[in-house]
Structure formats: structure tokens, C-alpha cells
């Protein structure tokens, strides 16, 4: 089975939340994706769904799980309390931070309660990395965070794209995971970085998980790209399914 551990609600004209849910399920079926994790926005209104909207849409869905986005800029304390309730009720399976999309560093002192909450409920903290404004979650900052919160599982989304190679030195932090979302966004770049991706998977076969960034990126292209890496069947099964299953308890 394929688990896509990094998707967002699709955005299209005149879409309602229930239509977005239907389209997500249709695309999962077309692409042979058995389960996925929808990451909500951290903002309080959003076309890709707020934390509350995503939880309401999927809390009783057998195949779709929710990671709640949170931000020190948007009702932080209220949202964090709500998120704790969702974690207790198992309506959320992780927490997402957006350094780079938002101007705070992964090491920002205000985020302490987020890492502590994640540890308490044994769910991961995901963060945006790479792309534009990558300094907010650059490799040295990731290293500091992984070390300071060594009891919290932390997921580096996009693997510092396109500098996948910089993840290799970070694999020594056993609480640090890597999700492959958006790495196959551009065909030419992918050809340049595919050996680095294989090296990362080889260095941490239990901590690299498949994700596509569906809705922002093409799910099928991501599946085909990672399938094309010539991983052994056992490693491929870990990356596409088992690692996410264990990390997110799904
Ligand atoms: Zn994303």
C-alpha cells in the first residue's frame, strides 16, 4: 500500500470543502494511494482548510488523517489548546510549522510548547524546509532543534529542497525524519538530485517517508519518480508505507 504522508486539500474554482474531499479521494483512488495525511493551514481562514475544517472533514475517515498547522502569529495559545484536544481525541496525528512561509525560525523560543506537546502525545512536529526563505529552517537550525528536543520526533518536509545532500549529515539525529514531498516537482532538478535522495534513503531507511505535496505538486509524478529510484522491495515498502505507519500510528 502507498501512504502519501504529505497532501493538502485541492484548490479549484467554486470548491466547497466537501467537494475538495471528494476530489482528494478520487485522485487517491486513481493514483493507487491507500491512505494519506492532509496538512491543514496554520491560518484562521484558508482555501486549503484550517485545522478545524480539516478535522471536521476527516475525523471519521478511515483513510485520511490530519496534521494540524499552527503558528506563533495566529491565536497561538488558543490553537495549541485546541490541538491538544484533537490529539487526545485522535483527530490529529501531528503538528505542522511553516518557517519560511512565515517569518519565524524553527528554533524560535515561542515554539517550545509545540515540541513538548508533540512529545507528550508521541506525534511528530513537521516543518517546511528548503525552497524560498530557506534560512528559517536551514540545516544548522534543524540540527539545533533536533538536539534540543531529542525526545520529540521531527519531520523535515521537502528535505531542504533542492539541497537534499545537506540532509545526510542530519541523519545522525535519530528523532529526525525526512518527507519526500515536492522533491519531484521539477523534472530536470529531480534528475540532478535523485542520487542524493537515494543516498538519504540508504543512510536512514527507517526515517524517510513518501509524500507528494499533492495539490501543490503532482501525486502521480512523485510516486513514479520515487518508484524509479531502484530501491529494494523491502526499502521501498518502508518508504512508501511502513515508516509513515509507525511514525503517525496509522
Ligand atoms: Zn505541503
Task: Please tell me the distance between residue 39's alpha carbon and the centre of ligand 1 in angstroms.
Answer: 7
Look up the pTM and report it: 0.97
Task: Please tell me the distance between residue 181's alpha carbon and the centre of ligand 1 in angstroms.
Answer: 7
Q: Cα(174)–Cα(172) distance, rounded to whole angstroms?
A: 6
Task: Please tell me the distance between residue 78's alpha carbon and the centre of ligand 1 in angstroms.
Answer: 23
Q: What is the pLDDT of residues 129-144, one digit of tens each?
A: 999 999 999 999 999 9
Enumerate residues with CB within 5 Å of ligand 1 (an ion).
Answer: 213
132 CB-near residues (< 8 Å, 6+ apart):
100
The class that CATH gives domain 2-248 is: alpha beta
Separation in Å, CA 217 to CA 9, 131, 152: 12, 14, 28
What pLDDT does 22 receive?
97
Q: What is the pLDDT of residues 61-116, one digit of tens each?
A: 999 999 999 999 999 999 999 999 999 999 999 999 999 999 999 999 999 999 99
The residue extents of the domains of the chain are 2-248
186 CB-near residues (< 8 Å, 6+ apart):
none
39 CB-near residues (< 8 Å, 6+ apart):
6, 7, 8, 66, 67, 69, 96, 126
Q: Cα(20)–Cα(61) distance, rounded to whole angstroms?
A: 14
Task: Please tell me the distance between residue 215's alpha carbon and the centre of ligand 1 in angstroms.
Answer: 9
Task: Please tell me the distance between residue 233's alpha carbon and the centre of ligand 1 in angstroms.
Answer: 27
Task: Please tell me the distance between residue 101's alpha carbon and the centre of ligand 1 in angstroms.
Answer: 11
Q: How many CB atoms lie within 10 A of CB 195?
A: 12
Q: For the chain, what is the largest distance between any 2 Cα atoms, rounded to a whole number of angstroms?
A: 46
Each residue's pLDDT expressed in tens, for the chain with a length of 250 residues: 999 999 999 999 999 999 999 999 999 999 999 999 999 999 999 999 999 999 999 999 999 999 999 999 999 999 999 999 999 999 999 999 999 999 999 999 999 999 999 999 999 999 999 999 999 999 999 999 999 999 999 999 999 999 999 999 999 999 999 999 999 999 999 999 999 999 999 999 999 999 999 999 999 999 999 999 989 999 999 999 999 999 999 9
Instruction: Enter the C-alpha cell of residue 73.
Output: 502569529
* 8 A C-beta contact, residue 5 and residue 209: yes
Helix (H) or strand (E) run with residue 241 in it = none
Task: Please tell me the distance between residue 129's alpha carbon and the centre of ligand 1 in angstroms.
Answer: 10
Task: Please tell me the distance between residue 195's alpha carbon and the centre of ligand 1 in angstroms.
Answer: 23
Separation in Å, CA 225 to CA 150, 160, 185: 32, 18, 10
Amino acid at each position: 500500500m502507498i501512504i502519501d504522508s504529505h497532501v493538502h486539500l485541492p484548490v479549484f474554482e467554486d470548491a466547497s470543502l466537501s467537494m475538495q474531499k471528494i476530489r482528494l479521494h478520487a485522485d487517491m483512488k486513481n493514483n493507487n494511494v491507500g491512505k494519506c495525511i492532509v496538512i491543514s493551514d496554520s491560518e484562521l481562514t484558508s482555501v486549503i482548510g484550517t485545522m478545524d475544517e480539516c478535522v471536521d472533514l476527516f475525523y471519521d475517515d478511515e483513510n485520511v488523517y490530519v496534521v494540524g498547522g499552527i503558528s506563533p502569529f495566529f491565536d497561538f495559545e488558543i490553537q495549541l489548546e485546541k490541538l491538544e484536544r484533537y490529539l487526545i481525541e485522535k483527530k490529529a496525528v501531528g503538528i505542522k510549522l511553516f518557517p519560511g512561509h512565515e517569518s519565524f525560525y524553527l528554533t524560535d523560543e515561542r515554539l517550545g510548547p509545540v515540541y513538548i506537546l508533540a512529545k507528550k502525545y508521541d506525534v511528530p512536529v513537521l516543518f517546511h524546509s528548503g525552497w524560498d526563505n530557506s534560512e528559517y529552517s536551514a540545516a544548522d537550525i534543524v540540527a539545533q532543534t533536533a538536539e534540543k528536543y531529542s525526545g520529540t520526533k521531527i519531520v523535515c518536509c521537502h528535505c531542504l529542497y533542492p539541497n537534499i545532500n545537506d540532509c545526510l549529515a542530519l541523519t545522525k539525529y535519530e528523532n529526525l525524519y525526512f518527507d519526500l514531498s515536492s522533491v519531484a516537482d521539477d523534472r530536470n532538478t529531480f534528475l540532478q538530485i535523485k542520487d542524493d535522495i537515494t543516498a538519504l534513503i540508504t543512510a536512514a531507511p527507517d526515517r524517510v517517508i513518501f509524500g507528494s505535496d499533492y495539490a501543490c505538486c503532482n501525486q502521480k509524478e512523485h510516486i513514479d519518480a520515487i518508484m524509479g529510484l531502484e530501491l529494494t522491495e523491502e526499502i521501498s515498502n518502508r518508504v512508501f508505507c511502513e515508516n509513515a505507519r509507525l511514525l503517525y500510528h496509522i
